[in-house]
Amino acid sequence: MSGIYEQLGIRTIINAKGVSTRVSGGIMSPEVADAMRDASRHCVDMWELQGRASEIIADLTGAEAGIVTSGAAAGLLLGTAACIAGLDPAKMNRLPDTAGMKDEVVMARSHRNFYDHAVRTAGAKLVEVGIPDRFSGAGVRDTEAWEIAAAITEKTAAVHYLAHPNSLPPLDQVVKAAHAAGVPVLVDAASQLPPVENLRHFIDQGADLVTYSGGKAIGGPQSSGILCGRRDLIASAALQCLDHDMFFEQWNPPASLMEKSVIPGLPQHGIGRPCKAGKEEIIGLLTALRLFVADDTQARQQMVRTALVQDLYDALKETPHVECRLEPDGYRPGIPIVRLTLDETAAGKTAFQLILELQNGDPSIHADNSRIDDAQIGFSSICLEPGHPKAIATRMRTLLK
C-alpha cells in the first residue's frame, strides 16, 4: 500500500496487464515526478512552453513541429480539427459545426477502433473503405490503397491510419494515395513506442500528423501525449487547444510554432480546450521523452524488466494445470511476457474464471485477457514491482490447487 492511496482508502493493484489506461497506465520514474514537482512551483507562458516542446519534439521525431497533448486521443481530436479548419480562426470558432468545410475522414474499415470517437468529436464524418476479409476467415485481403484513393473527394479533410505492426494497406502506399489528392494523413501511433525508432518511422514514411501516448510505455504522466507533424497543422492544433483569454496585441506565438501574421486575429477557446495539458504534464512528458531516448535508460529498463519477468516465470512454472512459457511481447520488443495455457478440464475452471478470481481477490491482480478464448493468460512485467512475482505465484497456486 502506498501512503496517499491508503489515506484515500483506495487499494493499489498488481498490474500484470501492462500500461492500459483502465489500470492507470505505466509507472513514472522518480526523475519524471521530480521534474513535474519543479514545474508546479512556477508559472510560465503556455505558448512559450509549447514552443520549446515543439523544438524538442521536432528534434526527436524529425517532424517540423509538435505539441504536448493530454493524450493520444486528444492528439486525434486536435489533429482532425487542424485538418478541417486549417489556419482559419473563423472555422475554428465554428467547430464541431462543419457546414461548408471539408469534413470527411477516410479510413480503412479494418482500422476502425474505439479511439476514433476522438476523430468524430472534432466534427468529422468517418468514411469507411474496403472489407477486412482476412479477419473474417473468408479470405486473405484487406483494404487496398487504390480503394482509399477512390474514396477521396473534395469533402475529404484527412485520411486516418491506425499504426500497428500488422496494419494494411502499408502506410507509405496510403500516404502516396492521399498526397496525390492533396489530403493529409493522420496516424494513431498511441502504443507504438517502444521501439524508440518509431518516434521517426511514421514521419519518415510521409505522415502529416502522428500522435503518441505519453502515459503508456514511455513513462510520462498518464494524461500526456504527443502530436507532431506539419508545421501549419501543428500551429492549428495549438490554436485550438491553448487558452486565448487575452487581446491579440498581447499574444506572442513562438517562431517554432507559427508566425503571428498568418492569422488576422485570435480564435475563441477551441474545440480542444477541454483537453488541456498542464505545465506539469508538459514538463513530465518532455522529461520522460528525454529518458526514453537515452540508451542507458533503455538498457537499465530492459535489465530490470527482464529480471522481473524471469522471476515471474520461475515462480509460476510449477503452478498446477498450466503450461508456462516466455513469449515475445509484440508491443515491447526485447522484454518477453509470461504466457500460461490453462488445462481448463483438469483445473475445473476456465481461463476467464481465473482472470476474474485474480482481479476480484485481495490484492487485486490484473492479467492480460486478450486470449482467453484459447485458455491463455498473459503476465507483463512492465508495471510490476519487485514483490509482485511471488504474490502472483502464491495466489495462482491457491486458486488452482
Note the residues at the interface with ligand PLP (CB under 6 A).
Answer: 21, 71-73, 115, 188, 190-191, 213, 215, 225
Query: Of 192 and 256, which CB lies nearer to ligand PLP in the complex structure?
Result: 192
- C-beta separation of 36 from 283 below 8 A: yes
Q: What is the DSSP string of 14-69?
A: EE-S-S-GGGT-----HHHHHHHHHHHTS---HHHHHHHHHHHHHHHH--SEEEEE
Return the number of other C-beta atoms located less than 10 Å from residue 181's C-beta. Answer: 14
Burial track 312-344 (b if 16+ CB lie within 10 A, e otherwise): bbebbeebebbebeeeebebbeebbbbbbbbee
Query: Of 72 and 308, which CB lies nearer to ligand PLP in the complex structure?
Result: 72
Place of cell 507509405: 172
C-alpha grid cell, residue 172: 507509405
- C-beta separation of 365 from 354 below 8 A: no
Query: Of 213 and 381, which CB lies nearer to ligand PLP in the complex structure?
Result: 213
With 0-12 / 13-18 / 19 or more C-beta atoms within 10 angstroms meaning exposed / middle / buried, residue 169 is buried
For the CB of residue 349, give the shortest distance to ligand PLP in the complex, in Å: 30
Query: Of 222 and 319, which CB lies nearer to ligand PLP in the complex structure?
Result: 222
- C-beta separation of 213 from 190 below 8 A: yes
Query: Of 82 and 340, which CB lies nearer to ligand PLP in the complex structure?
Result: 82
295 phi and psi angles, rounded to 5 deg: -55, -40
For the CB of residue 42, give the shortest distance to ligand PLP in the complex, in Å: 26
Query: Of 156 and 223, which CB lies nearer to ligand PLP in the complex structure?
Result: 223
Region of residue 86 (phi > 0: left; psi between -120 and 50: alpha; otherwise: beta): left
68 vs 74: CA distance, rounded Å = 10
For the CB of residue 148, give the shortest distance to ligand PLP in the complex, in Å: 19
Query: Of 75 and 336, which CB lies nearer to ligand PLP in the complex structure?
Result: 75
For the CB of residue 370, give the shortest distance to ligand PLP in the complex, in Å: 12
80 vs 84: CA distance, rounded Å = 6
Q: What's the DSSP call for residue 277?
A: P
Region of residue 18 (phi > 0: left; psi between -120 and 50: alpha; otherwise: beta): left
Query: Of 253 and 278, which CB lies nearer to ligand PLP in the complex structure?
Result: 278
Query: Of 51 and 221, which CB lies nearer to ligand PLP in the complex structure?
Result: 221
For the CB of residue 274, give the shortest distance to ligand PLP in the complex, in Å: 13
C-alpha grid cell, residue 146: 487504390
Q: How far apart are the first and last CA of the chain?
A: 27
For the CB of residue 72, give the shortest distance to ligand PLP in the complex, in Å: 3
For the CB of residue 276, give the shortest distance to ligand PLP in the complex, in Å: 14
Query: Of 191 and 350, which CB lies nearer to ligand PLP in the complex structure?
Result: 191
For the CB of residue 18, give the shortest distance to ligand PLP in the complex, in Å: 11
Residue nearest to ligand PLP (CB): 71
For the CB of residue 198, give the shortest distance to ligand PLP in the complex, in Å: 13
